[in-house]
Chain A
Amino acid sequence: AQSVAQPEDQVNVAEGNPLTVKCTYSVSGNPYLFWYVQYPNRGLQFLLKYITGDNLVKGSYGFEAEFNKSQTSFHLKKPSALVSDSALYFCAVREGPGGGNKLTFGTGTQLKVEL
């Protein structure tokens, strides 16, 4: 069975400061990891994914995530937060390669960036 934990329901950060949204995962094989963002009253937008290779993955809107196999983590980061980054962020995992394409989502983290 695969699972994802997002330990923080909400993260508050001041504009211009770095932000981190935490995610830890559990899969029996190799993990394929994803981050999605959901702005108010919108669908989910794909931000970035880790499949293999470099542990630091760069994605849309200046976001990046670091895969850490020993800590089974895939934290989302951005060096300088913007008010417009305020949204709901979901981490997701599936087992790969060879597994099905059934994503398991975390419970989501609400990011609030304030002036």
Chain B
Amino acid sequence: DTEVTQTPKHLVMGMTNKKSLKCEQHMGHRAMYWYKQKAKKPPELMFVYSYEKLSINESVPSRFSPECPNSSLLNLHLHALQPEDSALYLCASSQSNRGGVGNTIYFGEGSWLTVV
């Protein structure tokens, strides 16, 4: 079982709504990630946080706003989304965001987002 926990598992929101996805890990990891995945496609990196600071933003639209309150928590705030933003949003973590030998990225179960 994954040690990266994501809530909610399912979210339906209107295009004018504001909602948030939440992620928590208790592995002592210092890097956390948000990925977006469409059906049957590989995950696409959105954001990377390293030691609670944003280190990578893959040119994600501003309607997605990440937040890292502490080393165990990662949020993704959603506002004014479009139907094409409907996807599985995966949170992940690793020991650090450097390419060290033991630096495997572990994923959560994901949050299914539907924008109507």
> Which residues 3-45 of B have a CB within 8 angstroms of A?
4, 6, 31, 40-43, 45
- A interface size (C-beta, 8 A): 29
Min CB gap B112→A, angstroms: 8
Q: CB-nearest residue of chain A relative to B112?
A: A41
- List B contacts of A97 (CB < 8 A): 99-101
Q: CB-nearest residue of chain B relative to A48?
A: B104
B40, B97, B104, B110: the one within 8 Å of A34 (CB): B104
Check B94 against A101 for contact (C-beta < 8 Å): yes
- List A contacts of B40 (CB < 8 A): 88, 108, 110
From B41, B42, B45, B110, residue with most partner A Cβ within 10 Å: B42
Contact with B along A98-112 (1 / 0, CB 8 A): 111111011110100
A43, A45, A100, A107: the one within 8 Å of B97 (CB): A100
Q: How far is the CA of A108 from the CA of B31 in the complex (A)?
A: 25
A49 within 8 A of B: yes
Contact with A along B90-111 (1 / 0, CB 8 A): 1000101111110111111110
Interface residues of A (CB under 8 A from B): 32, 34, 36, 41-46, 49, 51-52, 88, 90, 94-103, 105-108, 110
